[in-house]
């Protein structure tokens, strides 16, 4: 293990701080989340990173941010001190600063809303004990920042946790959202495999495995092999080549589909609006999709 554990701010959003678009709007780095966003819809990537359209996090995202923050501090403690009681104390200590953060203040929650937020965050934190006993975990680092060239791809990201199992590293990432069904597990596992590729490049040794802890639900895990490590490197290379080509020509295609009705940038996307209108006409949009309000407002 050739690098020292790093602990950073849980608020740090690696894409916002480190994506590092140059003056010509060329991306300087690729992270797992920016790669995932580009694969989902290149135009959406442009809206976020080039045009920097507002995309304020909602309650679920900020619940996850606070849960991550508590677990980061908890897992920095020595074995034997990672109890639920200690987690509650950390949550109480961290809350006064968190509730003054701009994104949380923007939620404009009343007292009942604030209590509900804290309860949801605690449920996420407590959910770790459903999956593991933190006192039995050999933690090498939390919030480990990695920056490395993977092939020709400049990669940068922050790993929630690096553990040691059988004297080898294991990449561990927390998720506070709903765990996917088994048939859809491969897509979220790509993120931790990108981190596994970064660790292999940095240390010269592939991690033993990678996993996603869906707090309070279940763990998705994958054993790292030469085969899937090679696939992760190829995926990164293909995404980077396509992304930089789009940036050179400023031609970012729109990938329309059901998620258009939930896209925060729908108001700026004519293709997405047409998709939502067509799906709504055919009864294929949920009634609570925020995109319906967007297209209704634009229509009239």
Report the phi/psi class of residue 105: left, alpha or beta, with left for phi > 0 and alpha for psi in -120 to 50. alpha
CATH number for region 1-255? 3.90.320
Closest residue by Cα to residue 188 from 167, 214, 162: 214
Burial (Cβ within 10 Å: 0-12, 13-18, ≥19) of residue 124: buried
Cα–Cα dist 59/13, whole Å: 16
Ordered by start, the domain boundaries in the chain are 1-255, 258-299
pTM: 0.90
pLDDT for position 183:
81
Name the DSSP class of 285. S
Q: Which residue has the tokens 């007292």?
A: 111
- Cα 293 to Cα 286: distance, rounded to the nearest angstrom: 12
Q: What pLDDT is recorded for position 23?
A: 61
Positions in the chain short of pLDDT 50:
1-18
**238-287: per-residue pLDDT in tens?**
999 999 999 999 999 999 999 999 999 999 999 999 999 999 999 999 99
Predicted confidence at residue 158, as pLDDT, reads 95
- Residue-wise pLDDT for 163-185, tens only, equals 999 999 999 999 999 999 888 88
């Amino acid at each position: 293990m050739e690098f020292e554990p790093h602990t950073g701010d849980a608020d740090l959003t690696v894409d916002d701080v480190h994506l590092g678009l140059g003056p010509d709007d060329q991306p300087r780095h690729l992270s797992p989340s920016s790669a995932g966003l580009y694969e989902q819809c290149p135009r959406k990537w442009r809206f976020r990173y080039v045009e920097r359209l507002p995309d304020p996090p909602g309650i679920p995202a900020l619940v996850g941010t606070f849960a991550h923050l508590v677990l980061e501090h908890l897992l920095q403690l020595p074995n034997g001190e990672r109890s639920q009681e200690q987690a509650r104390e950390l949550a109480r200590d961290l809350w006064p600063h968190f509730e003054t953060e701009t994104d949380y203040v923007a939620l404009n929650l009343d007292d009942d809303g604030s209590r509900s937020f804290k309860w949801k965050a605690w449920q996420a934190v407590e959910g770790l004990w459903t999956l593991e006993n933190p006192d039995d975990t050999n933690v090498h680092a939390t919030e480990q920042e990695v920056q490395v060239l993977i092939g020709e791809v400049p990669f940068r990201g922050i790993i929630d946790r690096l553990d040691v199992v059988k004297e080898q590293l294991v990449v561990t990432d927390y998720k506070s959202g709903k765990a996917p069904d088994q048939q859809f597990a491969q897509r979220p596992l790509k993120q931790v495999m990108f981190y596994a590729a970064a660790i292999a490049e940095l240390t010269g040794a592939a991690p033993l495995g990678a996993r996603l802890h869906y707090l309070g639900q279940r763990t998705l895990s994958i054993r790292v092999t030469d085969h899937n490590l090679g696939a992760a490197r190829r995926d990164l290379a293909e995404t980077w080549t396509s992304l930089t080509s789009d940036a050179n020509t400023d031609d970012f295609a729109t990938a329309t589909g059901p998620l258009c009705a939930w896209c925060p940038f729908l108001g700026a996307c004519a293709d997405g609006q047409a998709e939502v209108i067509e799906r709504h006409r055919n009864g294929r949009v949920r009634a609570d999709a925020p995109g319906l309000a967007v297209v209704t407002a634009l229509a009239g």
